Structure 1
Amino acid sequence: MHERLEQLRGGLIVSCQAYPGEALYGSHHMAAMARAAQDGGAAAIRTHSPQDTAAIREACGLPVIGIWKKSFPDSEVYITPSSGDVLALFAAGADIVALDATSRPRPNGGTLERLLEEVRRFSGELAAAGEENGSSAGTGPLLMADISTFEEGLAAESMGFQLISTTLSGYTSYSRQEPGPDLELVKRLAENCRVPVIAEGRFDTPELAAAALQAGAYAVVVGTAITRPHTLTRRFADALKRS
């Protein structure tokens, strides 16, 4: 198994992301957040944009999972939607790039199969980028499929994704909409897929994260409950207003 994948086994992946208008927006803040997560025992970092990926790559030695969110008028797909986005993240130092692998129509009439073909065509460029920036991209691209249903997970594995994540369960109109994390999806994928299954999406307590591992997850991603203090503060403030 790939060395970086082995480092994720049984571990906590902390999602460090902030956006314009938020107090922690900026690559220096996200690099500090990643170092704090590393100090707390994180096994890897998931982050947004080439800029934050590069800053976190320099700040800590943990594996970095990169994404790049972009909006398009003709598609609901927004997580790393193009092959150019994938290549930019690898060039910035990502060890793994995660992208939307749902069955929804993609921007500009593209297809997931075409995106994967383009990324593989430029695998030589990824190897060269890995040698320059010290990431493991030099051993070949590691791609994570962010999916929302069991069928999408199976399809992603058949397309050659090295990891499958439940990130988008509840965020597509046709996936499970109940509150809380989709432990059933984690369990079904873990029982039926040969590649690592990553649990992500509303795992907001240590107990739920542990339950994901017990359900068969290879690793668990936690974001808001650790790295978005304004959201956590709002929950407390709103509870006090209701009291």
Structure 2
Amino acid sequence: MLNKVKGKLIVSCQALDDEPLHSSFIMGRMAKAAKEGGAVAIRAQGVEDIIEIKKVTGLPIIGIIKKCYEDSPIYITPTKEEVDKLLNTKCEMIALDATERIRPNGESLKDLVDYIKSNGVLVMADISTYEEAVKAEELGVDCVSTTLSGYTKYSTQGDGPDLELIKRLSKDLKIPVIGEGKINTPEELRQAFECGAYSCVVGGAITRPQLITKKFVKSIS
């Protein structure tokens, strides 16, 4: 899978319970449209969406499950329970929060990484800082993604992708660095690749029409 996405675009197709496009059928069609536009893989949330998208597109899937727990701020594939559900979907890669924050139920990132890899599935570490990425590489993940930069209190805050983080990690890590998070324009995508990104994930700028519409409305308000 990693060879297939090198230098290419991954599209994130997600719509949570409170979003207007929340439907595995709709996400399947959204992913099909992304494939026709040139996406080579899909990042998807939830068992039903993943199964539908695999059926409709045949593309490799980066699977996640978002679930909130009272004892932790981590919500992207936070525990073994979510990992087990994702393993049953046969997705090619599982992404999980790899920040320094405490996991629910006192579970450890290392144990989850080892467990996923023991099942023959690739692991993507969603990180927010340079240090988290270095630690994730040491734990044996297959790639890191800058997904959470700007989404933890202690990481760099900004309106666009964390290009400096992508540049540093691409230079220093031996594993692929995936640019993800706040890539809002084709120009920002190009910049992420110029900074050394192995591949990039774009989500809301392509697949969340309510947010796209809001930008247009804001421009004339």
Q: Residue 6 of structure 1 aligns to a residue in which SS?
A: helix
Q: Deviation string for 1:1-56 (max 9, x for gaps)?
A: xxx11000001010000012322111000000000000000011001011111110
| Structural mapping, 1:2-17, within 5 Å | 4-17=1-14
Question: Is 2:170 the partner of 1:190?
Answer: yes
Q: Which runs of 5+ in 2 are unaligned?
A: none
Say whether 1:214 aligns with 2:194: yes
Alpha-carbon shift at residue 115 of structure 1 (Å): 2.1
Name the Cα RMSD after superposition: 1.2
State the alpha-carbon separation in 1 of the partners of residues 22 and 68 from structure 2.
19
> Do the aligned residues in 2 keep the contact of 1:83 with 1:119 (CA within 8 Å)?
no
1:137 is matched with which residue?
none
The one-letter amino acid of 2:185's match is T
SS at match of 2:59: coil
| 1:14 partner letter | V
Q: Do the aligned residues in 1 keep the contact of 2:116 with 2:122 (CA within 8 Å)?
A: no
Question: Displacement of 1:215 after TM fit?
Answer: 0.7
Aligned partner (choices 73, 78, 82) of residue 75 of structure 2: 78
Which of 39, 47, 51 is the aligned partner of 2:36? 39
Query: Which secondary structure state, in structure 1, belongs to the residue aligned with residue 3 of structure 2?
Result: helix
For the pair shown, the structure with the greater C-alpha radius of gyration is 1
| Secondary structure, counterpart of 2:184 in structure 1 | coil
The aligned counterpart of 1:101 is 98
SS in 2 for 1:15: strand
Instruction: Tell me which moved more, 171-180 or 143-152.
Output: 171-180
Identity across aligned pairs (percent)? 49
Name the structure 1 match of 2:183. 203
Which runs of 5 or more residues in structure 1 are unaligned? 124-139
Name the structure 2 match of 1:66.
Answer: 63
**How far did 1:235 drift?**
1.9
With structure 1 as the length reference, what TM-score do the two structures score?
A: 0.88
Instruction: Give the match's secondary structure for 1:89.
Output: helix
Instruction: Indicate the SS of the match to 2:206.
Output: helix
Q: 1:90 aligns with which of 87, 105, 121?
A: 87
